[in-house]
């Protein structure tokens, strides 16, 4: 049990960022990983040129890495933004323009999970108006994901680091998951369970796993405090992942932590356990 029976992937938007985007899949492969995930890589371009999409696809293929998770366009991330789904005006328009592009790219590389970050509350806008817009956009995204055989992920962030983001508890994200599934009838909206964010919200992680493992489509980890690699903080990540496995979760666990030297940071995970089974 423990780390050696999990399916890990490396988030290339937070690790290996000292390298150009197209060199990161090969760096992950050199460290022994065969699965990767990404935030939307083109923060200023919800609809990048086809050549850019093709180049990323080629880089993933050349490295022998499988993309297992991709964010839809989410604004300036990393940066002040936390998604575009619920942000009226230009950001919502950019999200909608990105939906088919992201879904088609995911299909082209066999990626089966698309994450839609909800977006911050906007001063002067009624939260109910933002939530209505979010549901509209998420329904469109869920249908697009379904067409390419993918799930739609809804993520909880943490209040200390994302004070304007409304989904800062597991139940708040689950509520959105349920509303999207009710609206589409597809059942492909799932919870993105990020143990770091939930811990930063002081949630009972074991209870969250027990309650919501069945609705979980993807898991991400980092230790707390500091958002570093497992073992740099206080979270019993090995035990929590065991609990997830026992609760029936068999999906990927994304390594979404910060490290000055990504390759050196993987010492907690035996080399033979890095390739996704």
Is 234 catalytic? The answer is no
Is 155 catalytic? The answer is yes
From the list 51, 155, 234, 238, the catalytic residue is 155
Q: Which residues contact 172 (CB under 8 A, 6 or more apart)?
A: 156, 166
Is the Cβ–Cβ distance between 129 and 82 less than 8 Å?
A: no
User: What is the b/e burial string over 229-244, where b = at least 16 CB atoms within 10 angstroms of the residue's CB?
Assistant: bbebbebebbebbbbb
Catalytic pick from 37, 91, 203, 256? 256
Which residues, in sequence order, are CB contacts of 8 under 8 Å at separation 6+? 33, 35, 252, 253, 254, 255, 269, 273, 274, 276
Q: Which residues are catalytic?
A: 155, 256
């Amino acid at each position: 049990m423990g780390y050696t029976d999990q399916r890990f992937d490396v988030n290339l938007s937070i690790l290996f960022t000292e390298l150009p985007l197209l060199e990161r899949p090969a760096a992950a492969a050199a460290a022994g990983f065969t699965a990767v995930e990404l935030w939307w890589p083109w923060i200023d371009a919800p609809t990048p040129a086809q050549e850019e999409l093709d180049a990323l696809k080629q880089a993933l293929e050349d490295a022998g890495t499988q993309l297992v998770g991709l964010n839809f366009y989410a604004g300036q991330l990393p940066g002040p933004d936390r998604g575009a789904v619920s942000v009226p005006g230009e950001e919502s328009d950019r999200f909608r323009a990105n939906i088919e592009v992201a879904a088609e790219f995911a299909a082209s590389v066999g990626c089966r999970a698309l994450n839609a970050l909800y977006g911050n509350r906007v001063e002067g806008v009624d939260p109910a108006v933002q939530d209505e817009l979010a549901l509209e956009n998420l329904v469109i995204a869920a249908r697009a994901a379904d067409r390419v055989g993918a799930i739609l992920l809804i993520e909880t962030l943490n209040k200390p680091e994302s004070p304007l983001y409304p989904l800062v508890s597991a139940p708040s994200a689950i509520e959105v998951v349920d509303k999207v599934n009710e609206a589409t009838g597809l059942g492909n909206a799932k919870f993105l369970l990020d143990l770091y964010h939930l811990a930063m919200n002081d949630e009972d992680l074991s209870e969250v796993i027990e309650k919501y493992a069945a609705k979980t489509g993807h898991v991400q980890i980092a230790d707390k405090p500091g958002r570093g690699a497992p073992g740099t903080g206080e979270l019993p990540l090995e035990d929590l992942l065991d609990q997830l496995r026992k609760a029936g979760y068999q999906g990927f666990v994304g390594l979404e932590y910060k490290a000055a030297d990504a390759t050196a940071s993987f010492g907690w995970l035996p080399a033979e356990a890095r390739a996704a089974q």
